[in-house]
Each structure stands twice: as structure tokens, then as C-alpha cells.
Amino acid sequence: MYTQSLDIPGGLQPVDPANTDVSPEQARFDAVMQADGKIEAQDWMPDAYRKTLIRQISQHAHSEIIGMQPEGNWISRAPSLKRKAILLAKVQDEGGHGLYLYSAAETMGVSRDQLVEALHAGKAKYSSIFNYPTPTWADVGVIGWLVDGAAIMNQIPLCRCTYGPYARAMIRICKEESFHQRQGFDALLSMMRGTQAQKDMVQQAVDRWWWPVLMMFGPSDKDSIHSGQSFQWGIKRISNDDLRQKFVDATVEQAKILGVTLPDPDLKWNEERKAHDYGAIDWEAFWRVVNGDGPCNKERLATRVKAHEDGAWVREAALAHAAKQAARAKKQAA
């Protein structure tokens, strides 16, 4: 049965088999939703379902690709060969996630070029979290521990999304994200066993990232415009606020093991709720970053556009090679 974890407006309506107003395609779609089944690329789907998924999957793909930058800038400065190899693999994984996700979006009839163009024109969103700087090596560890940790919390439920190609892409992505989270925690643990200067560096990085990470889950449920419909369609399974709460509860325990303090004086266990209370999130700051006025928005977009332009010759060479192969195959077949 199709479930909904929260009391979000727009709950599921039962399918009425006697209702002849709906087209057979719509009736089939509704039945799949009702049975919590999967919609595949070749299946009929309502335009709004397609539009919502293209929006979400492409924003997700852009986040993975832009997300390569804050850590990528540390590859040449990692403190050891081992850390460099790990970081290199991680950043490459993020690039791969972007590619699976663009491919999943393409199954809905939009081209990767269109999506990338929208990003480069500043029309498409990507996650707020990648608009913050990484001034120290500890920031790289904190991205792994907290940013990837939050990403996993948000993305595990997406493995059960009703759109098959997205759900299947998410399974592989989540497996890789787990490695990313562990490597970040491990890097921080090493620093916390080191000198006082290293410990201070970790604490300062945690102070910088904690609040932006909580914002990653999106606006609070009452302000989330898409949640109601996304729940109905089995795209979203757990609400923004519920995921944020799960993340806070899990992270408090991990912070104790690391020996860092989470920078929130209001963070405390609430015995009645069996969950942690936490302080107010600065939503104005969140929307400023989402709308392009974060510390690194301009830099991130400019770097992305330049990388795309610098790579034009690779795309041209690949197309020329593919055309040559196709011509050869045609000649052989003739």
C-alpha cells in the first residue's frame, strides 16, 4: 500500500473503478500509484508527474556535478598519497552520479544539453550546500561526514521512488555515498587524534557547515511547495522535516565519538518526543543562497561554464568518432 509518513496536505485519494471520466492511460497510472508499483520510461504518465521528476532529477544531477568543486579543489593539496587517492575516487564518483542522473532524466524525453544549458544560464537550481567555501582540509572531512551523511538520509527513500529509472540509479548512488560518508568520518577521526591545532581545525569546520547542512533537506514542511504532490506520486516518502530530524538524531551520537561540539545551544534530547530538539534555522539565509547570493554561487557557476567550454573539443572529437564508426558500419552492412 502507498504510504505517507506525515500529515501532509493532499493525501492519497482511493482509485474509483466506476469512474469512467479518466482515460485508460490515467486509470493505469493511478492503479500503479495505488499499488505502489513502478512507472517505466515507456509507460504513459501525466505531464505534471514527468515535469516534477525532470525538475527534481535534474536539480539532483546538477548538485552532484557542482558538488565536485568544493572538494576537487583539495585533490592537489591532500595531506598524504592515501588521502589523495581516496578523495580522487570520491570526486570521480560524484561525477558518475551526475551522469546516471542526467541519463535517468533523459528517459523522460529531455536532453542532457537542455538541462546543462538551463544550469549554465542560472535557470536551474542545485543544492544550496555547494555554495560554501572549503578553506581547510577539515572542511573536506566535514563534507564527507555531514554533507554526504545528509545526502544519504535524503536519498535512501528515493530508492523506493515510483519512477523506475530514478529509483534504480539511486540504489547505486546510495552505496557509493556510504563510502563517502565513512571516508569523511575517518579523515576527521584521524585529525581528532592529532594535535590541538588539528582538533581546532575540525571544530571550526563543523561550526561552518552544521547549519547549511540542516538546510540541505529543504524548507520546513509547512513551506515545502512540492511535498504534497510528491507524496501522492510516491516520489517523496519522508518529509523534509522528518529527514532533518532523523539526521540530527543520528549525527549527535557520531559527534560524541568524534569529540566535536555541534554549534547549537538549543540542541538537547527531548524525552517526550524521543528525539533531539534543535535551534531555529535561518531560512532567510537559506533562500539568499538558493537565489544566487551565497558565498560561492558565482564562482561555482563560472567554474562549471568554463569547464564545459574547455571540454568542447572532447565532445566534438567524440561526435566525429561516432559519425565515422556509423559510416563504417553502414558501409559494411551494404
Residues making contact with ligand 3HC (CB under 6 A):
55-56, 59-60, 63-64, 67, 94, 125, 127-128, 147-148, 151, 154-155, 215-219, 224-227, 230, 236, 240, 290
User: Which of the 8 DSSP states describes residue 76?
Assistant: G
- Determine contact, residues 240/220, Cβ cutoff 8 Å: yes
Query: Which CB atom, from 183 or from 227, has the smaller least distance to ligand 3HC?
Result: 227
Cβ 127 to ligand 3HC, closest distance in Å? 4
Within 10 Å of residue 147's Cβ, how many Cβ atoms? 26
Query: Which CB atom, from 154 or from 232, has the smaller least distance to ligand 3HC?
Result: 154
Enter the C-alpha cell of residue 142.
Answer: 566535514
**Whole-number Å distance between alpha carbons of 97 and 115:** 15
β partners of residue 276: 269
Judged by DSSP in three states, 167 sits in helix
Query: Which CB atom, from 147 or from 202, has the smaller least distance to ligand 3HC?
Result: 147
Cβ 228 to ligand 3HC, closest distance in Å? 9
Query: Which CB atom, from 198 or from 254, has the smaller least distance to ligand 3HC?
Result: 254
**Whole-number Å distance between alpha carbons of 240 and 283:** 14
Cβ 128 to ligand 3HC, closest distance in Å? 4
Query: Which CB atom, from 175 or from 268, has the smaller least distance to ligand 3HC?
Result: 175
Cβ 317 to ligand 3HC, closest distance in Å? 29
Cβ 288 to ligand 3HC, closest distance in Å? 11
Query: Which CB atom, from 199 or from 245, has the smaller least distance to ligand 3HC?
Result: 245
Cβ 129 to ligand 3HC, closest distance in Å? 6
Amino acid at 14: P
Query: Which CB atom, from 93 or from 199, has the smaller least distance to ligand 3HC?
Result: 93
In angstroms, the Cα distances linking 277 to 153, 248, 271 are 18, 9, 10
Query: Which CB atom, from 69 or from 258, has the smaller least distance to ligand 3HC?
Result: 69
Angle, alpha carbons 103-109-114 (nearest 5°): 75
| 254: Cβ contacts below 8 Å, ≥ 6 apart | 145, 149, 185
Enter the C-alpha cell of residue 37.
Answer: 508499483
Cβ 212 to ligand 3HC, closest distance in Å? 9
Torsion angles phi and psi, residue 270, rounded to 5: -110, 105
Q: Cell 546538477, residue?
A: 62
Query: Which CB atom, from 69 or from 154, has the smaller least distance to ligand 3HC?
Result: 154
**Whole-number Å distance between alpha carbons of 19 and 256:** 56
User: Which one, of 32, 88, 97, 19, lies nearest residue 233 by Cα?
Assistant: 32
- Determine contact, residues 292/122, Cβ cutoff 8 Å: yes
Cβ 155 to ligand 3HC, closest distance in Å? 6
- Determine contact, residues 93/176, Cβ cutoff 8 Å: yes
**Whole-number Å distance between alpha carbons of 117 and 71:** 24
Cβ 201 to ligand 3HC, closest distance in Å? 21
User: Which of the 8 DSSP states describes residue 270?
Assistant: E
